[in-house]
Amino acid sequence: MARKSDQTTHKLGKALNRKFFDRSVHEVAPELIGATLLVDGVGGMIVEVEAYHHTDPAAHSFNGETPRTRIMFGPAGFAYVYRIHQVYCVNAVCEAEGSASAVLIRALQPTFGLDEMRARRGVDDKRLLCSGPGRLCQALGIGLAHNGLALDRAPIEMFARTGVPDVLRGIRIGISKAVEYPWRYGVRGSKYLSKPFAKVA
DNA sequence: ATTCTGATAATCT
DNA sequence: GATTATCAGAATC
């Protein structure tokens, strides 16, 4: 059921390499807004992310390395995938090896492979394809098999944004610790956010 | 538009 | 046995 508007693409910047991620999460997270994430050619523009720092009680890495969080303690530029309830979430590991910081990818604006995403998700509404960390993993076919994969090698591709979008900042969602840290970023007015941002003056 | 509840499984204590 | 960086559907404002 792809309509013409579904096939609209956006301009892709240069491919992101590991160097891009080897900086503070607080620099990388806002710059990922407007970038593009594809897995096997399916994906879209990132419209919402959250930063998790190793000094942050809400981060999985806060209490030290465990088998699950091993990837977060490795070098930057790799995918950390974990399961929560019945879905998966993807993160981009940032900063130097051992810093255990990552950016959670929370929502995409679907642009490539709409039909495949609809088939995997079992819904038709474009707004429900990738508007949430679990939804976008299902739409792109991401699972535990992707844990530890490099973000700059097949099947994963990431591209820089070509312009600077209007980026909003706010408090993170769905966590119970360090609730007040304003480390969520998103595109102002996007229809594809997992939740609207609270109004800010 | 906001709030709630149950599903369901790996991980850690 | 407790916890969880979620989702969908239902109920209520």
Residue A156: inside a domain:
yes
Q: Å between A8 CA and C8 C1'?
A: 29
How are beta strands A87-94 and A184-187 bridged, if at all? Answer: unpaired
List the single protein residue with the shortest CA to C1' distance from B11.
A68
Which nucleotide in the DNA or RNA is closest to residue A83, CA to C1'? B10
Q: Contact, A179 vs A106, CB < 8 A?
A: no
Residue at A67: amino acid letter: P
Distance (Å, whole) CA A72 – CA A91: 9
Residues in chain A: 201
For residue A4, what pLDDT band results from cuts at 50, 70 and 90? very low
Q: Å between A49 CA and C4 C1'?
A: 19
Residue A3: inside a domain:
no
For residue A125, the domain's CATH number is 3.10.300.10
Query: What's the total number of domains in chain A?
Result: 1
Q: Which nucleotides of C are covered by protein (CB under 7 A)?
A: 3-8
Residue A192: inside a domain:
no
The per-residue pLDDT for range A146-197, each reduced to its tens digit, is 999 999 999 999 999 999 999 999 989 988 888 888 999 999 989 999 988 8
Distance (Å, whole) CA A144 – CA A89: 9
Residue A70: inside a domain:
yes
